[in-house]
């Protein structure tokens, strides 16, 4: 039996489940400032007909609006899946201090896989990154979602 998940990751995984129920790829994200959630989101590309409405983008937009700034430099982003190149770029531009994610994404991820954006010399901000928090649950959500659609 494992340890309980930190509550922001628990919330991100719950948001991912909500995304799946709505027919979206199950990804959820939460932005925290200290011990307070300041933004959250889930994938909403289909619902909003917006290809940029990834969970991370939705959560960071909400946090920026709540805090009244585009710089989220004291914030932590919790997300159920390794961010893609678009989201990793936005994380760097927002100056997110810490990135915590659940499942790795060998096909579309851009943090530990693909372009490994934060390791590029042109990336001017690199958050502290820890992956694998709640990985089994996040991976199961994704497997279930895609199995049901095949």
Give the annotated binding-site residues for Zn(2+). 54, 84, 87
Annotated catalytic residue within 24, 40, 56, 82: 56
d(CA 53, CA 11): 18
d(CA 150, CA 147): 5
Long-range contacts of 63-67 (CB under 8 A, 24+ apart): 63/31, 63/33, 63/38, 63/39, 64/39, 64/94, 65/39, 66/38, 66/39, 67/33, 67/38
Q: Is 84 helix (H, G, I), strand (E, B) or coil?
A: coil
Q: Is 98 a catalytic residue?
A: no
Q: Which residue has the tokens 């922001």?
A: 8
Joined tokens for residue 27: 């990804």
Residues that are catalytic: 56
């Amino acid at each position: 039996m494992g340890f309980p998940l930190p509550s922001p990751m628990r919330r991100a995984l719950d948001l991912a489940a909500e995304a799946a129920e709505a027919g979206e790829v199950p990804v959820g994200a939460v932005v925290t400032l200290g011990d307070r959630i300041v933004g959250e989101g889930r994938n909403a590309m289909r619902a909003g007909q917006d290809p940029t409405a990834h969970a991370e983008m939705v959560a960071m937009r909400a946090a920026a609006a709540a805090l009244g700034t585009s710089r989220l430099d004291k914030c932590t982003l919790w997300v159920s899946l390794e961010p893609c190149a678009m989201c990793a770029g936005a994380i760097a531009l927002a100056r997110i201090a810490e990135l915590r994610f659940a499942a790795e994404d060998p096909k579309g991820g851009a943090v530990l896989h693909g372009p490994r954006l934060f390791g590029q010399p042109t990336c001017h901000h690199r958050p502290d990154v820890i992956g694998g928090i709640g990985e089994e649950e996040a991976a199961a959500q994704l497997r279930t979602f895609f199995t049901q659609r095949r």
